[in-house]
Chain A
Amino acid sequence: MPHFAKPAEGSWTEHYPDLGTALVNYEDSISPEFYELEREAIFRRTWLNVGRVEQVPRVGSYFTKEIGVLGTSIVVVRSASDQIRAFHNICRHRGNKLVWNDFPREETSGICRQFTCKYHGWRYGLDGGLTFVQQEGEFFDLDKADFGLVPVECDAWEGFIFVNFDRDNATPLRDYLGEFGRGLEGYPFGELTQVYKYRAEVGSNWKLFVDAFVEFYHAPVLHAKQAVADESQKLQRYGYEALAYQLDGPHGMVSSWGGMSPPKDVNMVKPIERKLRSGLFGPWDDYLDAEPPPALNPARSPVWGMDSFHFFPNFMVLPYFPNWVITYNYWPTSYNSHIFEGALLFVPPRNAFERLQQELTAVTFKEYALQDGNTLEATQTMLESRAVSEFPLNDQEILLRHLHRTARQYVADHQRRQPGTPVQISAVS
């Protein structure tokens, strides 16, 4: 019972013939050896989103970011020349973490004129230069010019700050983000300064949470108990079909219908949603008057609701034009654990009613994400049983097929660059 047209090949998956339609091996999500390879092959070689420019509004504004997957911490700062810079968060004297508060492992933020090491008082300017050494005369031929903070390549796209740890990186951020990045330029991200952020430690491989958010095949089933009963049964009979899927290099996107914002029939939604004209898909009323950028709604469907863009490896942007955006970041901490960060960015509310509309959306988001997060641990534990190792992915799961294939390719390319015998893992082949 197709509701929306598919490509001429008969399916989204076959439209991209390299993907194949075979069963997919999930060893890449349960193998500690594969995870070790991913750290270098993927996370040290791609642009990683670490924040937004609004987090560093003034010269001297800074925040730290723990990058556990690479075993480091960085400090991102707006420098005196008004550029956003990133540095490894390490003092050049004897390796102390430079910027932290009471707890060395916790992230922090603030504003300062310079960075001063807590240990021996070495100071660094906002451009990373070493400016002061305690008892400098005690050192041996120390030239301060040689001991600045170690920079990390840093750039911003549409206000999203990215870093790249690859010292040989030759791909500018905008090129890396490709067609989707260019096609989203002009979206009023900068207007969305009312921010909610959520964080969870999830007991699953990072790719499993990306999986969960790049398919909506699960939505009518896993989230059935979120809706009023009649509506829930209707949604489950209907199932889920996307308006469109697109792949561009390592990235992917899915475009979805928007029947719930506002719903065709208000009896489909909960009483509080009717009163506040809001819900999971955001406030039903538009606050901004803006033109949608070209990447949105690629099918140009009149029933369009929202798109989900996955920028490989671990960043997603879900623009609910024009009022608000969700972003997701997935930060691996081991082969079977990661930190999930979800942010909701809204146009600042003009009054209490709009504020309550946004509160309802934010709380609803959390309830759905709790169900998603819990399910991931259930999946991870059973995948690790290896009772079954290959799984059928349907056409609405094309982005999962693409993600796992891309991860395997990055690892295989990395192994080819290494001298010696590659680690043999079945999923790599």
Chain B
Amino acid sequence: MPTLPPEFADLEPFTDWCLRTEAERYAKRLASSMDEMQAFYDAAFPRLEDAYTYLNQFDLHALPEDATQLLWLYYSLVNVSFPVEVWRQPRVPDSGAASLDAVVEPAV
């Protein structure tokens, strides 16, 4: 399992959200219940400012491994924020069978 920086030990129960690609994060979102996403959001959202303040001390392209995992976890927070804050369902309303695949995304 990924390990987070010691300052973020409280988020260790959610390291299954440390996912490198948008496709993985989006798939996990669709496969999760609202309760699971709410629990992750309730733990991670209050620490968003702490997280980016911590990460901002590093060169974005030379992040230590545990910091990279933390950044990926916060990409996932961004991804689940939509269902948790507004829709109360994993998929955006009225999107049915539509799909849109990320075919290129930044390396970091």
Measured between beta carbons, the chain B residues less than 8 angstroms from A367 are 82, 92, 95
Question: Is B35 in contact with chain A by the CB < 8 A criterion?
Answer: no
Contact of A200 among B60, B63, B71, B98 (CB under 8 A): B98
- What residues of A have a CB within 8 angstroms of the CB of B78 in the complex? 272, 276, 356, 359-360, 363
Does the CB pair A352–B55 fall under 8 Å? yes
Which among B79, B81, B87, B108 has the greatest number of chain A C-beta atoms within 10 A?
A: B81
Q: Does B103 contact A (CB under 8 A)?
A: yes
Residue contact A196 to B71, C-beta cutoff 8 Å: no
A374–B58 Cα distance when bound, in Å, is 41
B101, CB-defined interface residue at 8 Å: yes
Task: List, in ascending order, chain B residues with CB within 8 A of A237's CB.
Answer: none
Minimal beta-carbon separation of A379 from chain B (angstroms):
13
**B-side interface size class:** 35 or more
Residue of chain A at shortest CB distance from B91: A370
CA distance in complex: A237, B44 (Å): 35
* Contacting pair B106 A198 (CB below 8 A): no
Interface centre among A200, A228, A359 (most CB of B within 10 A): A359
In Å, the complex CA distance between A222 and B93 comes to: 10
CB distance from A110 to the nearest CB of B (A): 15
Contacts of A227 in B (CB 8 A): 86
User: Which residues from chain A contact B104 at a C-beta distance below 8 Å?
Assistant: 195-197, 343
For A83, list chain B residues within 8 Å (CB).
none
In the bound complex, how far is the Cα of B87 from the Cα of A351, in angstroms?
30
Tell me if A359 and B95 are in contact (CB < 8 A).
no
* Cα distance A6–B12 in the bound complex, in angstroms: 57
Question: Nearest chain A CB to B48's CB is how many angstroms away?
Answer: 5
| A374-B96 in contact given A272-B81, A275-B49 (Cβ < 8 Å) | yes
Minimum Cβ distance to chain B for residue A333 (Å): 15
Contacting pair B60 A352 (CB below 8 A):
yes
Q: A198-B103, A350-B60, A351-B60 are in contact. Are A370 and B98 (CB under 8 A)?
A: yes
Interface contact A196-B52, CB-CB below 8 Å: no
A226 at the interface (CB under 8 A from B): yes
Cβ–Cβ contact A196 & B79, under 8 A: no
Check if A352 sits within 8 Å of B99, measured CB to CB: no
Asked, given contacts A270-B86, A275-B49, whether A199 binds B101 with beta carbons under 8 Å apart, the answer is yes
Q: Is the CB of B93 within 8 A of A225?
A: yes
B52's contact among A226, A352, A363, A373, by CB below 8 Å, is which?
A: A352
Q: Give bound CA distance, A202 to B52, whole Å.
A: 37
Contacts of A374 in B (CB 8 A): 94-98
Query: B74 near A: Cβ within 8 Å?
Result: yes
Residue A349 CB within 8 A of the other chain: yes
Task: Among B45, B49, B81, B100, point to the contact of A370 (Cβ < 8 A).
Answer: B100
Contact residues in A for B94 (Cβ distance below 8 Å): 222, 225, 371, 374-375
B79 contacts which chain A residues (CB < 8 A)? 363
CB nearest to A107 among chain B residues: B103
Task: Determine which of A351, A356, A377 lies in contact with B98 in the assembled complex, contact meaning CB atoms within 8 Å.
Answer: A377
**Min CB–CB distance B21 → chain A (angstroms):** 12
B74 pairs with A356, CB closer than 8 A: yes
Cβ of B85 under 8 Å from chain A? yes
Are B60 and A270 interface neighbours, CB within 8 A? no
Point out the residues of chain B lying under 8 angstroms from A200, CB to CB.
Answer: 98-101
B60 touches A272 (CB 8 A): no
Contact with B along A134-168 (1 / 0, CB 8 A): 00000000000000000000000000000000000
Q: A4 in the interface, Cβ–Cβ < 8 Å?
A: no
Contact between B81 and A225, CB atoms less than 8 A apart: no
Given contacts A194-B106, A196-B105, A356-B78, 20 further A-B contacts (CB under 8 A): A198-B102, A200-B98, A225-B94, A226-B82, A228-B85, A228-B86, A270-B81, A270-B82, A276-B48, A351-B60, A352-B56, A355-B108, A356-B71, A359-B75, A362-B22, A369-B100, A370-B99, A373-B95, A374-B94, A374-B97
Q: Which 4 A-B pairs have the closest CB atoms?
A: A352-B55, A197-B104, A374-B98, A370-B95
In the assembled complex, 29 residue pairs joining A and B whose CB atoms fall closer than 8 Å, in A order, are A196-B102, A196-B104, A196-B105, A222-B94, A225-B93, A225-B94, A226-B82, A228-B85, A270-B81, A270-B85, A272-B48, A272-B78, A272-B81, A275-B49, A352-B56, A352-B58, A352-B60, A352-B63, A353-B56, A356-B71, A360-B78, A360-B81, A362-B22, A362-B105, A366-B102, A369-B100, A371-B95, A373-B100, A374-B97
